[in-house]
C-alpha cells in the first residue's frame, strides 16, 4: 500500500502527518509507503513546525517541501488532503481513494511566538490523533 498526505505548501501539516505515519507504521509493523507533497511547495519547512516536532522526538530539519510531481501519484492507494485548497487542486486520479481533513493553515497563524506555538501544538496533536487512528485501521 502507498499513501500520501497533500497540502498546499508541504511545509507544515503534510510534513507532520508523514512523520507521524512513519512513526506509527513502524510501531505497528505495517508495510506501507508514505509520502507528502504540496500543490505549491514552499522553499523550506516552517521552523516552528521543526521546533514542535522535536518536542515529540521527531527531527524534520533534514526534510524539504516537495511538489506533487516528486511523488508517485498514479501509484497511490490513498490520498489524504489536509487543507481545503489542496482538496480543490489535487488532481483526481480514478481508482485512488481520497480522504479530506480540513485543518487550519499554520502559515496563517499570527502573534507572538509562544501564541503561535500554542496553536501549532494543537494542530500537531490533531494530526497525530488522526494519523494514529488511520494507521491502526489500515
Is 109 annotated as catalytic?
no
Is 60 annotated as catalytic?
no
**What does the pLDDT read at residue 14?**
96
Q: What is the mean pLDDT of residues 30-47?
A: 96
Fold of 2-136: Rossmann fold (3.40.50)
Is 7 annotated as catalytic?
yes
Catalytic: which of 4, 17, 34, 90? 90
> pTM of the prediction?
0.94
**What does the pLDDT read at residue 57?**
97
**What does the pLDDT read at residue 86?**
75
Give 102's contacts (C-beta < 8 A, 6+ positions apart): 83, 84, 87
**What does the pLDDT read at residue 135?**
97
Q: What is the mean pLDDT of the chain?
A: 93
pLDDT-derived band at 41, boundaries 50, 70, 90: very high
Catalytic: which of 3, 4, 6, 7? 7
Give the start-to-end residue ranges of the domains of the chain: 2-136
Give percent of the chain above pLDDT 70. 100
Catalytic: which of 83, 123, 131, 134? 83
**What does the pLDDT read at residue 92?**
79
Write out pLDDT tens, residues 68-120: 999 999 999 999 999 877 777 777 788 999 999 999 888 778 889 899 999 99
**What does the pLDDT read at residue 72?**
96
- The three state secondary structure string of the chain is CEEEEEECCCCCHHHHHHHHHHHHHHHCCCCCEEEEEECCCCCCCCHHHHHHHHCCCCCCCCCCCCEHHHCCHHHCCEEEECCHHHHHHCCCCCCCEEEECCCCCHHHCCCCHHHHHHHHHHHHHHHHHHHHHHHHCC
Amino acid at each position: 500500500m502507498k499513501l500520501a498526505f497533500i497540502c498546499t505548501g508541504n511545509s507544515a501539516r503534510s510534513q507532520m502527518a508523514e512523520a507521524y505515519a512513519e512513526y506509527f507504521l513502524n510501531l505497528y509493523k505495517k508495510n506501507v509507503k508514505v509520502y507528502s507533497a504540496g500543490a505549491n511547495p514552499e522553499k523550506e519547512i516552517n521552523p516552528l513546525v521543526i521546533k514542535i516536532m522535536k518536542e515529540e522526538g521527531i527531527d524534520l530539519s533534514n526534510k524539504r517541501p516537495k511538489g506533487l510531481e516528486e511523488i508517485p501519484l498514479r501509484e497511490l492507494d490513498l490520498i489524504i488532503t489536509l487543507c481545503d485548497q489542496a482538496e480543490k487542486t489535487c488532481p483526481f486520479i480514478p481508482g485512488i481513494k481520497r480522504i479530506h481533513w480540513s485543518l487550519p493553515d499554520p502559515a496563517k497563524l499570527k502573534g507572538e511566538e509562544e501564541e503561535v506555538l500554542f496553536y501549532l501544538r494543537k494542530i500537531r496533536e490533531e494530526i497525530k490523533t488522526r494519523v494514529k487512528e488511520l494507521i491502526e485501521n489500515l
